[in-house]
Structure 1
Amino acid sequence: MNRTANNWVSSFFGRSLYFFLSLIISVPIYLAIETYVRSIEVHEDEAVATAATGCFIVGVFAGRYMAQLWSARIKPVSNVLIGGLFILIIANICWLFFHADFPLQGRAAINLLLFWIPFAVISFSLGILIKLVRAVTQNQLQEAQASAATSQSELQLLQSQLSPHFLFNTLNNLYGLSLTQHEKIPPLLLKLSDLLRYSIYDVKETFVPLVDELAYINNYIDFEKIRIGTRLELKTDIENIARTDIKIAPMLLIVFIENAFKHSKNTANEKIFIEVALKTWGKMILFFVKNSHSKAETTPSGKGNGLGLDNVAKRLTLLYPNEHILEFQNDSEFYTVSLQLKMK
């Protein structure tokens, strides 16, 4: 029996912190009520103010308790309900001030009634409003935390796919070279070890310094220059960035460069043309890559290649919401990708 009573009291008043806060808040509430009661010429204003203060605090807790029972049964809290409670409280406060200026002369009992009814409505509605606003805030916080956890898990999954995707394409290239140009394999393996070291061990963070990412890109371009040889006609305009505070999502740009090298080799032309440019402008990172391709190949993605571009699109959505512009352009000879990113 005692345990049930204690549980009810705990549920009604909440944590002990709320009780101590109510004691502190009761001081300015008492002073405001005492001033009001004196203005409408009520006798024994101090006793009335003390009783009104106690009733106000109890009314707030009662409203909070009723809102707690209601929100436990009905999860979604309507914004219309919250707005209605706010308007109701403001309307009753305005009535109290109006009544203080125009009390009924010689009608002390009615004056008290006209005070107590809106006063009780204010305290009870305020308790409901406080609880509902807190419930809405907690629900929004929980939803945001769940969404962030889901996005983080998806991002980790996408990032874990980067190294296998790169390794798969690179091993295919090495296999082809081992059959025709096996003398290129040793230097390529050295470059490959550096590339894998970065892609596996150095990209654990969500964002990495742009200078490190550019070093990886330049290393990859050197790798491809060895692999392709004199057939490659390469044009690069990559800004020399020394600042380490400019950050970017790791392995983001390399997918476009990798696709450029992969699909440019399918051209029937004697030369493979690739252009890569990267600049910083204000708070933006501007990236551009252009490659030649065969006329029969209308899109850059084929079997086994869609993973990389899909991966990039999803990562851009997660990491750069409303902070990126990605554009593709395809004609009979060249495929172009331009990307604008906000610096991190």
Structure 2
Amino acid sequence: MNKPKDLQNHEFLVKAPVVVVAGLVSVPIWIAMDFFCNAMHFNNDEALATAITIFFMAAIFVGRYFAELLIIHVKDLRTLAIAIAIVLIASGIGLFAQLAFPFEGAAALHILLYWFPFLIGSISLGMLIKVVRTIGKRELQEARSQAAHSKSELHLLQSQLSPHFLFNTLNNLYGLSITQHEKIPPLLLKLADLLRYSVYDAGETFVPLKDELAYIENYIEFEKIRIGERLALVTDIENIADANIKIAPMLLIVFIENAFKHSKNTPDEKIFVNISLKTWNDLILFSVRNSYGKSEAENTILGKNSGFGLPNVTKRLELLYPNEHELTIKAEAADYQIALRLKAK
């Protein structure tokens, strides 16, 4: 079956650069061969150099063709490349051995001992070039595929943050609407500001840390209104003015939200939440400590109340900060602590 004309033209365009590169490479090869023939005192050195160059380039293309056939059937291309490299080295050693210690005998055998390793070496070089290039293309394709998968997974995780926050907040508002309905209007205003940031401003992969801290402070004010005098809050948050210091959006808020969520369920008259954030060199140092009931600690350790937020933020840390973060979580009978160290973007 004949291929469509457009497809034939496309194939020519793909192969044309290879032919051009081969033509350019053949010039320095011919110069090297001519120099070699002069040094060896061969007759008709220019003609011989031309013949060797044509022979070499033709063998290279033959090697590329053989490699294409092998690539279809061989899965482990790295092992194939090593095997071809061994053949190439052996051919080179054989050729140089013949040049250093020329065979004294029949002319036909003399020519064979020169040209056979040269032929095998040239074909092997062409095969090695094709195989190595194919390995590079496959690795690049796999890297792009993995990056695309990670990006789509990250977008999915980020898209889940706002509904999760809204679900928890609406549950809290429902309880307050029954017992303390006078708190609902200011809480709704704060909630509107929080949702505006999470929906419109937190869509980027990284946002300025100062914007994230403004969101966190707004959330803390929201919780102060909701919990009231029962809350014993201590914050030690550094004032960040540099917009170049960036962080993944809605990352720290998960830990703070969990701190308020679990601390309010303790039977103690007062609940405490301690929040700290500092920057040091290119690191962001963040910690949260909150009161924690015994039953809450047991449930979290057993995985019953770990919730959606913590697995989400752990996965995002793995995607966005590979080998650039350290998360420590301690759930004890009286309090719950997290410490996060990550590299600023």
User: How many residues are treated as equivalent by the alignment?
Assistant: 340
Structure 1 residue ranges without an equivalent (≥5): none
User: Is 1:288 aligned to residue 317 of structure 2?
Assistant: no
Structure 1 residue 292: deviation in Å? Answer: 0.2
Q: Given residue 78 of structure 1, which amino acid in structure 2 is its aligned partner?
A: L
The CA distance in 2 between the partners of 1:111 and 1:287, in whole Å, is: 77
Match of 2:308 in 1: 307
1:280-311 CA deviation, whole Å, 9 max, x = no partner?
11111111000001122225747675211111
Return the TM-score normalized by structure 2.
0.92
Q: 1:106 to 1:40 in 2, by over 3 A?
A: farther
Structure 1 residue 106: deviation in Å? Answer: 7.3
Worse-matched range after superposition: 325-334 or 191-200? 325-334
| Contact 2:206/2:249 (<8 A) preserved | yes
Structure 1 residue 45: deviation in Å? Answer: 2.5
Q: 1:2 to 1:203 in 2, by over 3 A?
A: closer
| Contact 2:78/2:135 (<8 A) preserved | no
Q: 1:326 to 1:159 in 2, by over 3 A?
A: same
Q: Given residue 316 of structure 1, which amino acid in structure 2 is its aligned partner?
A: L
Match of 1:193 in 2: 192
Q: What pairs up with 1:122-141 in 2 under 5 angstroms?
A: 122-141=121-140
Q: 1:148 to 1:250 in 2, by over 3 A?
A: same
| Contact 1:263/1:300 (<8 A) preserved | no
Structure 1 residue 36: deviation in Å? Answer: 2.7
Q: What pairs up with 1:315-326 in 2 under 5 angstroms?
A: 315-326=316-327
1:238-283 CA deviation, whole Å, 9 max, x = no partner?
0101011111111011011000000001111100100000111111
Structure 1 residue 197: deviation in Å? Answer: 0.1
Match of 1:223 in 2: 222
| Contact 1:259/1:300 (<8 A) preserved | no
Match of 1:330 in 2: 331
Worse-matched range after superposition: 100-109 or 227-236? 100-109
Q: Following superposition, which runs of at least 4 residues in structure 1 exceed 6 angstroms of deviation? A: 1-4, 10-14
Q: 1:158 to 1:259 in 2, by over 3 A?
A: same
User: Is 1:30 aligned to residue 30 of structure 2?
Assistant: yes
Return the TM-score normalized by structure 1.
0.92
| Contact 1:39/1:100 (<8 A) preserved | no
Secondary structure of the equivalent of 1:43?
Answer: coil
The CA distance in 2 between the partners of 1:78 and 1:327, in whole Å, is: 42
Q: Given residue 257 of structure 1, which amino acid in structure 2 is its aligned partner?
A: I
Q: 1:201 to 1:14 in 2, by over 3 A?
A: closer
Structure 1 residue 73: deviation in Å? Answer: 3.4
1:112-137 CA deviation, whole Å, 9 max, x = no partner?
32221111111100111111111111
What is the RMSD of the two structures over their aligned residues, measured on CA atoms? 2.4
Identity, in percent, stands at: 57
Q: What pairs up with 1:42-121 in 2 under 5 angstroms?
A: 42-74=42-74, 76-104=75-103, 109-121=108-120
| Contact 2:266/2:292 (<8 A) preserved | yes
Q: What pairs up with 1:161-172 in 2 under 5 angstroms?
A: 161-172=160-171
Structure 1 residue 77: deviation in Å? Answer: 3.2
User: Is 1:211 aligned to residue 205 of structure 2?
Assistant: no
Secondary structure of the equivalent of 1:328?
Answer: strand
Secondary structure of the equivalent of 1:84?
Answer: helix
Q: What pairs up with 1:134-283 in 2 under 5 angstroms?
A: 134-283=133-282
Q: Given residue 186 of structure 1, which amino acid in structure 2 is its aligned partner?
A: P
